[in-house]
């Protein structure tokens, strides 16, 4: 199993499937279509999955491992995303570090390195096999680790029909990294009682709480006149953007928050005296605090417009996803099932909120409760990304365990 898992993962990450936020197609890049149709679909069929099909309207490739026992009362799904994040994904050349000794790992000839002084979590992996980048690209563990783990687990179950399990469905889809992947998820086609995204980080992560999320786009309309005669006439759009930003609490930014603390995050600011734009994301776990944050941004814009005597700050708010806890806490079966399996495997469940979102955030509100379990990646989305092969192997065992456990109590 370990060799098959490693070979799958290495073959997947070498294929560039980066998504594109500026694209208007679904999926956002042709490389994701090609990966689903030309790599995953034939492999799913080869390992024994049935009814394997590609959905052109949403970019998901879906397959089924039929039940071989009538003793299971629910159908379970596993989901991972095909795309990788907005960092160089061309020419991924993973390097294998066997029996890691706890020291500095040079990343190819790039001059970059994984240093335990900067990344202390490396010490958790002494003696294990690490897969890293060569320092010039990301790795793609987010979420090709998840895909490799699901495929390996399904291959194992398909080749061991003596192991009883219920019906299992798997889906691999696009564009999670740009926040659009699950928008068109086909719940009726997937047809399970609950599912798991295999898209988490280190060993033991089990998550059913996410941020509530919104974006805030702002246009600032200025009036440009010669600076020598600007008094009382010029309205500097860039200054308006800075004034708006100063109204937001300095203690509520991502770099000074953690745990259940929400934030405002300025992602972009650009423009001229005549016109400027800024773009924020808003995050909070509690619905009332989430609504308060959006209302406060609107209040700042209104107050500034009143002071200017006309509308020169135009705010557009857009809700992105909601905290899936609202759905999952109504029936904690999928969480308790995963937790029981991990404990049986001597894995300590780390049940904590995701300071972000997963496709499960949207899929849960579509009617399929979908918590998130670990896939193993660390330092994701950049050149310092790495994953432990042993952690990936344990993720496979968790997927198999969930698939073959008849109930939480078993």
Cis peptide upstream of residue 143 (ω within 30 degrees of 0): yes
Spatial strand order of the sheet with 130-132 comes to: 95-97, 130-132, 386-388, 377-378
Which residues lie below 8 Å from residue 378, measured CB to CB, with a gap of 6+? 119, 121, 141, 201, 202, 385, 386, 387
Contact, 61 vs 53, CB < 8 A? yes
Burial class (CB in 10 A: 0-12, 13-18, 19+), 66: middle
Structure tokens belonging to residue 93: 């050349």
Q: What is the DSSP letter of 135?
A: S
3-state secondary structure of 378: strand
Q: Which of 176, 284, 378, 393 is catalytic?
A: 176
Cα 149 from Cα 394, distance rounded (Å):
9
Collapsing DSSP to helix, strand or coil, 388 comes out as: strand
Gyration radius (Cα) of the chain, Å: 23
Please state at what angle helix 2-13 crosses helix 141-158, rounded to 10 degrees. Answer: 140
- Measured distance CA(285)–CA(353) in Å, rounded: 9
Helices 389-404, 2-13: axis angle to 10 degrees equals 110
Contacts of 231 (CB under 8 A, 6+ apart): none
> Annotated catalytic, 83?
yes
> Would you call 393 a catalytic residue per the annotation?
no
Choose among 397, 399, 370, 375: nearest CA to 387: 375
Q: Which of 83, 149, 205, 378 is catalytic?
A: 83
Catalytic positions are: 83, 176
């Amino acid at each position: 199993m370990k060799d098959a898992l490693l070979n799958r993962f290495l073959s997947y990450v070498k294929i560039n499937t980066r998504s594109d936020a500026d694209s208007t197609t679904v999926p956002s890049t042709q490389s994701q279509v090609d990966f689903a149709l030309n790599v995953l679909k034939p492999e799913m069929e080869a390992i024994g999955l049935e009814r394997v099909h590609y959905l052109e309207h949403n970019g998901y490739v879906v397959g089924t491992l039929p039940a071989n026992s009538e003793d299971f009362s629910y159908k379970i799904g596993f989901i991972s995303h095909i795309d990788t994040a907005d960092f160089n994904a061309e020419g991924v050349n993973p390097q294998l570090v066997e029996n890691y000794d706890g020291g500095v790992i040079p990343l190819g000839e790039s001059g970059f390195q994984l240093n335990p002084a900067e990344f202390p979590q490396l010490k958790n992996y002494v003696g294990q096999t690490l897969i890293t980048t060569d320092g010039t690209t990301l790795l793609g563990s987010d979420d090709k680790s998840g895909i490799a783990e699901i495929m390996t687990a399904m291959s194992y179950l398909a080749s061991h029909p003596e192991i009883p399990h219920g019906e299992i469905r798997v889906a691999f889809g696009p564009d999670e990294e740009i926040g659009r992947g699950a928008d068109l998820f086909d719940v009726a086609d997937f047809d399970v009682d609950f599912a798991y995204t295999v898209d988490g980080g280190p060993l033991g992560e089990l998550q059913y709480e996410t941020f509530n999320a919104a974006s805030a786009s702002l246009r600032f309309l200025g009036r440009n006149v010669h600076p020598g005669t600007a008094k009382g006439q010029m309205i500097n759009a860039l200054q308006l953007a800075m004034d708006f930003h100063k109204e937001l609490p300095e203690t509520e930014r991502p770099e000074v928050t953690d745990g259940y603390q929400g934030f405002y995050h300025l992602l972009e600011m650009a423009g001229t005296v005549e016109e400027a734009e800024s773009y924020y994301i808003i995050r909070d776990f509690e619905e009332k605090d989430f609504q308060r944050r959006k209302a406060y941004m609107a209040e700042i814009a209104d107050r500034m417009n009143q002071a200017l005597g006309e509308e020169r700050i135009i705010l557009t708010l857009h809700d992105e996803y909601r905290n899936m806890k609202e759905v999952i806490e109504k029936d904690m079966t999928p969480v308790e099932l995963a937790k029981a399996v991990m404990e049986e495997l001597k894995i300590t469940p780390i049940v904590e909120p995701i300071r972000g979102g997963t496709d499960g955030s949207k899929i849960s509100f579509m009617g399929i409760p979908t918590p998130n379990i670990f896939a193993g990646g660390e330092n994701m989305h950049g050149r310092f990304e790495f994953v432990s092969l042993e952690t990936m192997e344990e993720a496979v065992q968790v997927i198999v365990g969930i698939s073959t456990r008849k109930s939480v109590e078993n």
